[in-house]
Structures are given as structure tokens and as C-alpha cells.
């Protein structure tokens, strides 16, 4: 963990660690930011971008004849300065988000497989999946789970089809034949 989380405390019921300076954290556009770093970023970005635009506008109006074209080039320089300031701020102020990954329990994965079986398309066939998908499934530990589910589904289908192919003898009640059989 980073230094700002070294003196962290555990929150009951949450699998995440909350830093002691959490009072400075805010949510902006669905992302977590430190308001102190946000303020410093603005203090760096606004003068850099606006200054580059104003300087370029002054220079280009002297050298480029149509004023509209000079202003368009100045806006382009201002946008490039915005990108430069974003890269600088990204280097200075690291993300505040801490991703916690937990290994999923096999029962949860099995529940997901069971839900996929109920979908209109079902699980599909692993033999039809591209090699890159197979490799990714193996890396995530999902390949064997899907393979087992596919084999179970195939065995279930084989059991149903073999029961349907068993001919009934004429002496069994309920057979399609009108053969004679004796009642007890």
C-alpha cells in the first residue's frame, strides 16, 4: 500500500481500507479525488493552459494574416498545453483508488455458470471459442469450470437421448403397440 494508507483503519463490513485523510477525498465524475491535489492541479493547469493560449494568440496575430486562422492556431496551442498540464498532474498526483481483488469462491462461479446455462444461447461450445479467449479463460481459472459444465451438459443430453431411443416391449403398459398383455 502507498504511504497515505500506512496508518489506515479497517471499516466493518467493507473490504476496502480507508485512509486517515479520507476527509479530503471527494467524488468527481464517478472517481475518487483528493481535494488538496485537485486544487493544486487547477492552480497548475489553468495558468499553463490560459497562458499558452494568450501567448500564442498574441504571437500568431502578428505573424498570421487572417485573424480567424491565428485564433484557431492559438486554441490548438492552448489545447496542447491542457494535455501537457494533464500529464504533469498525473505524474505529480497519483490515483487515490485502491483496487481490492478477492478470489471468487467456486460456488459463486458455479452459480454464474448455472445462470448462463439458462440463457437463450446457453453456454456454447469451447471448441468454437477463439484461441485468445481460451487462453484468457485459462489465465483467469475459468476454463476448467466451463469445460466441466460443458461435459455435464453433454452427459445430461446423452442420458435423455438414450432414454428416448429405448424401444418399449409390447407387454409394457402404455406402449404404442396394441399387443396383448395379461393383467394381474
Domain ranges of the chain: 3-92, 106-165
- pTM reported for the whole predicted model: 0.44
pLDDT at 25: 83
Phi-psi region of 130 (alpha: psi -120 to 50; beta: other; left: phi over 0): beta
Cell numbers of 43, please?
492552480
15 sits in which H/E element: none
- Cell match 466441466: residue? 148
Q: How far apart are CA 115 and CA 145, in angstroms?
A: 14
Pairing of strands 9-10, 31-34: unpaired
> Quick check: 162 pLDDT over 90?
no
Cell numbers of 16, please?
476496502
Radius of gyration of the chain, Cα coordinates, nearest whole angstrom: 33
Lowest mean pLDDT among 49-53, 60-64, 108-112, 147-151: 108-112
Amino acid at each position: 500500500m502507498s504511504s497515505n494508507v500506512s496508518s489506515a483503519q479497517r471499516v466493518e463490513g467493507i473490504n476496502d481500507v480507508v485512509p486517515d485523510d479520507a476527509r479530503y477525498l471527494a467524488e468527481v465524475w464517478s472517481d475518487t479525488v483528493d481535494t488538496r491535489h485537485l486544487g493544486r492541479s487547477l492552480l497548475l493547469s489553468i495558468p499553463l493552459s490560459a497562458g499558452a493560449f494568450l501567448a500564442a494568440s498574441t504571437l500568431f496575430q502578428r505573424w498570421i494574416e487572417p485573424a480567424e486562422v491565428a485564433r484557431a492556431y492559438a486554441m490548438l496551442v492552448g489545447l496542447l498545453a491542457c494535455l501537457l498540464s494533464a500529464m504533469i498532474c498525473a505524474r505529480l498526483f497519483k490515483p487515490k483508488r485502491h483496487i481490492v481483488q478477492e478470489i471468487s469462491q467456486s460456488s459463486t462461479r458455479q452459480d454464474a455458470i448455472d445462470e448462463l446455462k439458462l440463457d437463450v444461447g446457453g453456454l456454447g461450445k469451447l471448441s468454437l471459442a477463439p484461441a485468445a479467449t481460451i487462453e484468457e479463460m485459462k489465465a483467469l481459472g475459468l476454463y476448467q469450470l466451463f469445460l466441466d459444465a460443458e461435459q455435464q451438459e453433454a452427459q445430461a443430453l446423452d442420458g435423455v437421448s438414450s432414454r428416448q431411443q429405448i424401444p418399449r416391449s409390447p407387454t409394457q403398459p402404455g406402449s404404442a403397440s396394441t399387443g396383448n398383455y395379461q393383467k394381474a
